[in-house]
A and B are shown apart, each in its own frame.
Chain A
């Protein structure tokens, strides 16, 4: 049931863009995105609840393709502060809000 994230790791220069994908083998009710910095707790970025929904948070946005059972996180004009591990968490129908996380994508932004 664990969603699969790709890529596993990415290295960027400041100002470059990146896309992180999250795919599930099951129909998704919701997709949640979190960022975790080393030694810290995961921090909520956004939640997508409807198929085709896109949300934005400054220069970080995400889309949810319900049909393909996948979501993508877009980071544009990356900043040093974007470095960390990004996790998608998926909620399934009739699962009482259970949230299953992917294995994570490690993003490093270099000056």
Chain B
């Protein structure tokens, strides 16, 4: 079974630029999460999808972050414009039976 795929693995951008991350969950997993993990902290939930609908986006800074899940499969997370404090690892996870499978994450550095 292929795991959760994320790209890119690393990204360095200047503040005020925009960036997008892509996630392909495990086939058949209906629930998809995006987490932000700042160095030394636990993953913080940004948004949760069930198929292509948003279940929870209460922690998503909607003035700069947006996310979509196309046809209930792939998902993209966008930041526009980026701030220095957005530097973090962005993790995508999909779940089955309560177990969350995480991708390798995208390490974003905003300079």
A contacts, CB < 8 Å to B = 2, 30, 32, 34, 40-44, 47, 49, 87, 89, 91, 95-104
Contacts and interface: CB of A to CB of B under 8 A. Distances in A.
Contacts of A34: 100
Interface of B: 31, 33, 35, 40-45, 48, 50, 55-56, 91, 95, 98-105
A69 B99 CA distance: 20
Q: Is the interface of B mostly helix, strand, loop or mixed?
A: strand
A79 B71 CA distance: 44
B102 to A, nearest CB: 4
Pick the most buried of A2, A40, A41: most chain B CB atoms within 10 A of its CB. Answer: A41
Contacts of A89: 100
A96 B102 contact: no
A102 B42 contact: yes
B55 A98 contact: yes
B11 to A, nearest CB: 16
23 contacts: A30-B98, A32-B98, A32-B100, A34-B100, A41-B103, A41-B104, A42-B91, A42-B102, A44-B99, A44-B101, A47-B98, A89-B100, A97-B31, A97-B48, A97-B50, A97-B98, A99-B95, A100-B45, A101-B42, A101-B43, A101-B44, A103-B42, A104-B41
A89 B100 CA distance: 10
